[in-house]
Structure 1
């Protein structure tokens, strides 16, 4: 049975306790982060630019110092351990390949520095190349490869090292959308096959949802929520998480809660009965239902966005923009209609702090 903190038992591959990063100018980039990654677990840091996710990853790697707190790898405190001695392998956004070396030499470089015997280097390089389907490119230079092929080489360089943990710093951001989707699946497949813990940084919440065993949502250097993708999606801990996770994002709007209902502009819809007074209400676009006027919260249709399998109906509930997702071919019941939902699908947040009620 998995413990209540989400760990799988034993010593976590990665454990971060009270991590703080303060720069010389006083700027606090990371503000007391606690988290862990178990053996074989894929953990994704997600958040907007400047939230501290890349800084935290670099603290794990040893590329940024830890101002306060501890970083442990396999139970060993590594705050003062050099990056080369941390038993990590990192894939960067720009791949960081040596342009003058062949693919083979790029894969073998780190092993040669560690004085690994030549036969063992050759075995690891060719095994990784076969796994990543880049065997035919071993004699080429990185400049002769496509973006996706260079990404595979960067991943191969990690695999041959047989590290305790993989670190990925937005590795797919330079690829086009189709290739990004393909490489995302390949990274997840490889990580599962190898059974090595991984920490992955992205600002793309779709990447986070599809890759992660657990998501760490960061905002302003702090952790907003840690949980499985479905948990973070279905029970966001704050309005920030609700608005960041999901495409399109959760609808958030001011409402008055009372007696198992929320009220806006004279209309009402069923809601959980646990709150009273001024709240911020939230409703996922795919959970909202459009009904004839008078049957819920007043909604005026402004535009319909066709997406093929679905269509997004844009309008307003009160003063707040609101989106409803409908199946293809389904139309709103009029230009003026109403929004309702099952009570379990309505999320209520504190109007001031944004915390989930």
Structure 2
């Protein structure tokens, strides 16, 4: 069953600026879809269009089979969790959770049951009489999620809900959101600029750039077969290496080095290599790949990042910490299956 259909959605502001340019996205029942992209790419605008907080210039927003373009936000059967929690500071946690249900005329006994069930689920039962100012950031975020849960919506909308938390708490809350969404079985859209959040949370990722969709796919698809150089450079930490290269006669040429590969393209291309797929051989021998000049070594504990250049172009390789630290010059061992080719002009995958 389809929960949400965004059909050729366009958002044009009065000054003519286009924030969203003909976006098509479908969210299935129980699915968690993450909108990810850099600041200004249109992801939050698109979420606000679904919520009814931004008008739709063109296209359709269909929720549970009903066109909701002109429907007020309160009548869309959505629940939104904001970046800044949006809690009422003068109300207790209990009253914050109950407020929306009370406004809808829900019977008092039903309100109490839903509030206490959500509080138990989120482990905030001991805080029901406290004010938001008496809670930590993580506890406030749980209250904000609890307020969404009690509404029993058709879809949850998360607008960068973890950006105000420190790194450790952000990791913990990310796992809690994932478990919670799986347990409830409710569809959700999650907006973030953090590609780690996108990769770990999503059933499917929608990568947005400049108001348009670059790629839709599972985390494995987006990471393993990026549709463009933008996706390749945005998804992955560190990002994919992108090198100017030439193809022809069944080979890829980088500078003075030739890599035999079954390529059909002829002419200039952009060659992509994930850092963890760029294996090193110390010294000048032991591999027939292109040479890499090493500039800096970055120790990260279990792994280290080797930064340098290949054919005069910046390059990063990932190495296990138990391997010998390379010298100033290494050669790369590259497998044809690990290479990605992109059109030199458009940046689209070949």
TM over 0.5: yes
Q: What's 1:157 paired with?
A: 147
Structure 2 residue 168 is the aligned partner of structure 1 residue 178: yes
Question: Aligned partners of 1:178, 1:271: CA distance in 2, in Å?
Answer: 43
How many pairs are equivalent?
Answer: 347
Question: Aligned partners of 1:284, 1:184: CA distance in 2, in Å?
Answer: 25
Alignment of 1:70-219 (within 5 A): 70-219=60-209
CA contact (8 A) 1:272 1:346 kept: no
Out of 335, 341, 346, the residue aligned to residue 348 of structure 1 is 341
Q: What's 2:310 paired with?
A: 317
Question: Aligned partners of 1:95, 1:274: CA distance in 2, in Å?
Answer: 52
Structure 2 residue 281 is the aligned partner of structure 1 residue 293: no
CA contact (8 A) 1:167 1:198 kept: yes
The offset of 1:299, in angstroms, is 0.8
**Structure 1 stretches of 5 or more lacking a match?**
1-9
Q: What is the CA RMSD across the aligned residues, in angstroms?
A: 1.0
Q: What's 1:5 paired with?
A: none
Q: What's 1:236 paired with?
A: 226
Q: What's 1:307 paired with?
A: 300
The offset of 1:305, in angstroms, is 0.5
Residue deviations 1:80-115 (CA, integer Å, cap 9, x gap): 000000000000000000000000000000000000
**Structure 2 stretches of 5 or more lacking a match?**
none
| TM-score of the two chains, using structure 2 as the length reference | 0.97
Query: Runs (4+) of structure 1 moved beyond 6 Å?
Result: none
* Residues 1:331 and 1:268: Cα distance change in structure 2 (over 3 Å): farther
Structure 2 residue 316 is the aligned partner of structure 1 residue 329: no
CA contact (8 A) 1:59 1:65 kept: yes
Residue deviations 1:251-274 (CA, integer Å, cap 9, x gap): 001011123321112112243413
CA contact (8 A) 1:265 1:298 kept: no
Question: What SS class does the counterpart of residue 221 from structure 2 fall into?
Answer: helix
Residue deviations 1:312-341 (CA, integer Å, cap 9, x gap): 000011232110000012135531122231
| TM-score of the two chains, using structure 1 as the length reference | 0.96
Residue deviations 1:166-189 (CA, integer Å, cap 9, x gap): 000000000000000000000000
